Structure 1
Amino acid sequence: MHNLRSHHFPPPFSPPRPPAILPPLLLYNLSIHHIFLRSSFTIAVVRIPFLDSALDLATLLFISALIILSLLSLCFIFHLCFKSRTALHLQHFNSLWTVRFLLVLFVIFWSLNELLRIPTLRSTYLYPFFSTLAPFEEPHFCKIHVALSLGFFEPAFLVTLLFLVDVSIEKKTPNAFWAIAFVLATCLPMALVQVIFLFFNPFQKLRLPVPDFFVRSYVVSKSELGISMVSCAYPLLNIIMFGSFGAAYSLWFLFSCWKVLSLVINKGLRTRIYTLAATVLVPLPLQIIFMGLSNFWKPDHPAFAAVSFVAFLATLTCAAVGEGILVIKPIGDSLAAGGDACRWNREKKPAEVTDNGGKCAV
């Protein structure tokens, strides 16, 4: 009896509980919600091009602001054109509308060309589009960007700006064809040399040993996810060629500003000339220096992005101030004061002052 009491019988068998089953309607709603979240996240990742850094976002914002300013300048130019048809006192001042239009047009093209430097926009929109039209490699965008920026668009708006300053003290208004020919004759040789060294690389064909950063226009790197990314760079050889143009241009621009200041006695106009000279003669050397410094790092390095951003800001400042002083401000003064406010105030007789023809560029 004692043995029977001390014996432990196993507990009675109890079948395992079935797992909790959700109602069919709730299960359907959860599955639909899960699929919707996954599809929304996938669409957001695929279709929304996230910029790689804050500098890329800042570059995009500055480019947008400059394009808006350029469109505003075009509105001023066309408004003056329509206004001068009925106002005789504005016809002489409107004689340079073609040159001002060229200035704004080159600034817009330079701004759009700077979008090629942003890797995400380039690989998301431009490369897929052009690759469907013809066999096209993404590194070619970097070469096109350098050739157009340092070879044509930036020299073109700088030369147009100089042309407006030079003709502002002339008694006769030059022909618009002469202005276009002057800009093309100055910029096309620079663009041709840039294209030759970027796309054909004479050093490689002649088998001359040169450091890689002299001719390097891009670098291919891989992200953490293993995706190849092309980063644009400024070849040192192209920077040297643009630097020689910038040195000659700075001397010419300084001499032109000195000639204008020798004729102007109005304090407001002198302030504009000083501001214009400062925003050209200071940012242009800074741009060349910082582009040269960018060769100390590879394009995928954060320091390279910072130095390139400073060089971009220098050019953007020059373009924005040039449009404000040479396009928006004089047209606004002319419309407000009947076309006479922008003429140079010389130390001459009033009859000689009006011979300027209202071609004030500053």
Structure 2
Amino acid sequence: MTDDLLRAPAEVKYADELDWLESVDDGPKPFSWRLSPKMVRLFILGSERADGLEREIPQKWFGDRSFVERAIVTLASDRGLLLIGDPGTGKSWLAELLSAAICRNSTLVVQGTAGTTEDHIKYSWNVSMVIAKGQSRESMIASPIMTAMERGVIGRFEELTRSTSDVQDALISILSEKYVSIPELDDDNIVFAQPGFSIIATANSRDRGVNDLSSALKRRFNFVRIPVVTNRKSETEIVRFRTEELLRRHAIELDVPPSLLSILLQSFADLRAAAQSAASDDEKLESALSTAEQIGVLEDAILSSHFFGDRTLTAQRLASSLVGSLARRSPEDLAILNKYWHGVVEPRSQAEGGEWPAFLDGGRDTIATLS
């Protein structure tokens, strides 16, 4: 079934694994959870020899164990969970994995934007049915959040701070009272949340000031802050994990040399350090330089090599993808990258050799083309 989908949700992609974990899980489960909290953690972080399982469970989210445990405890307490952090820190992926493990449904999602309305988190109406038969529960269109309430499962709200304050305020009664009133109906006009219902929201810390959360809404969420991954080992594991998924999905047989992966990680580390020491925003790349963007650069280089190259990933191709992905503003970003290439990459290529000279040439050519 997963072969028929461009991107299968976690509960579909890992269905066999979840079925097996559920069959051997004898731990206590809150509400109507499909897995116990220990098994939810194990599904997300992977198994260890000390777990004593007959089957190895691979790690799917790479980050501090305490973040996952606090998120699980929050959901077990029926409080709302807010995952907050910089772009590309894996907030949405963690929310999807939590939902898949707890209730086997991660698709009840509201995407927060400036155009999100209260109807998107409560309900709307099927106009043709209302005209034909009047307003009733049958003519009502439940939102993903209301559907989660009725089923006693997890509802997700992506980019909460991107939605306006009146939309955010509509969540307050849902999180505190655990029901939604339908004043248009005389009977059957309240939808109560069933045990197991909760909301996992995500927020981009760079959106601070766009639509700040009210103090009332903040009190109804437990905050889990997800930091940018800076540990080289963890970052390598994340990039390798996502790259292997890409290669499987596209049925591509292509090796990613460890030397090129090291160059990619080092380049992002250098650019992050430069951004931290920059005196103004004009001296920083617009990119957040997240792990997700590293994966995007590598994905671009792999696909370019596969379709337009000789199916071999080269340092030149990697440099071209990096510059092309990060040069979003012209001329500001190009100037920053050009400075980095001359001030850091060129001396390193002379001192270390290896793939760095080819990386230097590939970046120079791309910068010249874009300038």
TM value normalised by structure 1: 0.23
Structure number with bigger Rg: 1
More strand by share: 2
TM value normalised by structure 2: 0.22
Structure showing greater relative contact order (alpha-carbon pairs closer than 8 Å, 6 or more residues apart): 1
